[in-house]
Amino acid sequence: MITGKTTPAGSDPYVPKNGNAGLTVERYELELDYRLATNRLSGIARLDVLATSDLARFTLDLSRLSASAVRIDGARAANHSQSAHKLTVTPQRLIEAGTRFRVTIEYAGAPRPRSSTWGPVGWEELADGVIVASQPSGASTWFPCNDVPSDKATYSIQLTTEAPYTVVCNGRLVSRTVRSGRATWLFEQDEPTATYLATVQIGRYSVVEADWDGVPGRIVFPASIRRSVLADLVDVPRMMAVFQRAFGPYPFTGYAVVVTEDVLEIPLEAQSLAIFGSNHLTGTGEWERLVAHELAHQWFGNAVGVAEWRHIWLNEGFACYAEWVWSEASGGASADVLAREHYARLAGSASDIVLSDPGARDMFDDRVYKRGALTLHALRLAVGDELFFDIVRRWVGEHRHDVVTTADFRDLVSRACSAVPGVAVVALDRLLDAWLDATALPPYPTASPSASVTTHPSTTAEDTA
């Protein structure tokens, strides 16, 4: 069973049309068949579900794909019906709270993105392939699910498509078999994964295996841009080393980078992999910070996930701060120099966002990212490098594969600092109040006289060369 701090109970306030009361999904087994020429997806989804309340009927998120049959523990459901984004299932008898059961759903259709406050999300056709970018509410465009970030599950994803195409999904590749011109790929993701981080990537790709500081790696890309892609990813082993020392061991069994031939607006994180457009990896190193950012999400956002979307600064603030950690460790600008640059930009912007609850409309606003990183820098200046990086490693270690809230972070800071003589916990509480819970931008943080803040010894790039 996958456990977390928050038992899913209906929708997330930021995505109120997603999520389903009375249940949590512990495992998804997806058996998919996709026809590229016609954009036709047919699937069998097997969900291992725990009822968290008595269920006379229940719902799952499924967008514009038609369910033809639903079974519960092998027996046909008494009834099932659909609206645009919901599948409603009536079992033959009441399912009591605490019961584990398997739902099997046969479904098919032409998958397409789902509209959202932040633009289209979910399954999308590329010029010659597929990209799945589900954050925050698009997983239902390709499989029936409980699409809230708090409900993590393990995954088995089997996908069959035309043999010339490469398929990449979450986790480890178990097998690839070819029959009659079509290839079947099987991936297993053993670590708990939020629905928005589950993904399928399909394209005419080349694959290069890599070793990234002891972590098995795969680079998947169009052959025509091989040189530029490999040039821009040459520092990933050093990034991995820096981050493992700063944040703790890499939390998954491998890390894949997929580069589409298409131009993408932004890179995308998924569990155990990241997706870039051809415009992001051009051989110039221009977007090195994004390479670091997406890698850092494997710790912050993926291994340690948010219980609700209002806590998104815990994903994006940490990933943004990781860019600054990498910069100073690799001989670039220090975290303090970068913090001052971004503080100046924030000072010239509107101060109308509360970081701990920015609102659905602004959850992806760059001010959330940068103010989140500045909050971490303020903490680092207040407590010094040694305690700061100890807090970060404890954050990942204590909450690995779980879901968290801002209150959890504040609790850890309080516990870690109360054990250190000379650290004023009350002053830290006031500091976090100002950065997290007020709209006004606090003054630029200053280092505590007792704090030692330099490039952290365990993150220097020279140690990883």
Residues that constitute the known binding site: 293, 297, 316
* Burial readout 323-357 (b: 16 or more C-beta within 10 A, e: otherwise): bbbbbbbbebebbbebbeebbeebeeeeeebebbb
294 noted as active-site residue: yes
Residue numbers belonging to the annotated binding site for Zn(2+)? 293, 297, 316
Amino acid at the residue 23: L
* Strand 79-82 relative to strand 86-90, pairing: antiparallel
Amino acid at the residue 401: H
Name the residue with tokens 């000379």: 422
**What is the separation, in whole angstroms, between the first and last Cα of the chain?**
41
255 noted as active-site residue: no
Amino acid at the residue 295: L
Q: Residue 153: which of 279, 4, 299 has the closest Cα?
A: 4
Contact (CB, 8 A) for 380 and 445? no
From 188, 191, 294, 328, active-site residue: 294
Q: Torsion angle, CA of 268/273/275/281, rounded to 10 degrees?
A: 120
> What does the H/E/C string look like for 245-310?
HHHCCCCCCCEEEEEECCCCCCCEEECCEEEEECCCCCCCCCCHHHHHHHHHCCCECCCEEECCHH
Contact (CB, 8 A) for 396 and 304? yes
Token pair of 344 as six digits: 């100046």
264 by Cβ neighbours in 10 Å (0-12 / 13-18 / 19+) ranks as: middle
Element at 133 (helix H, strand E): strand 129-133
Name residue 168's beta-bridge partners. 201
The residues, any chain, with a CB within 8 Å of residue 351's CB and separated by 6 or more, are: 439, 440, 441
Question: CA 336, CA 339: separation in Å to the nearest integer?
Answer: 5
Count other C-beta atoms under 10 Å from residue 177's C-beta.
10
The residues, any chain, with a CB within 8 Å of residue 124's CB and separated by 6 or more, are: 112, 113, 130, 131, 132, 133
Name residue 107's beta-bridge partners. 43, 67
Residue 332 DSSP code: S
Name the residue with tokens 């607006």: 265
Q: Which residues are catalytic?
A: 294, 369
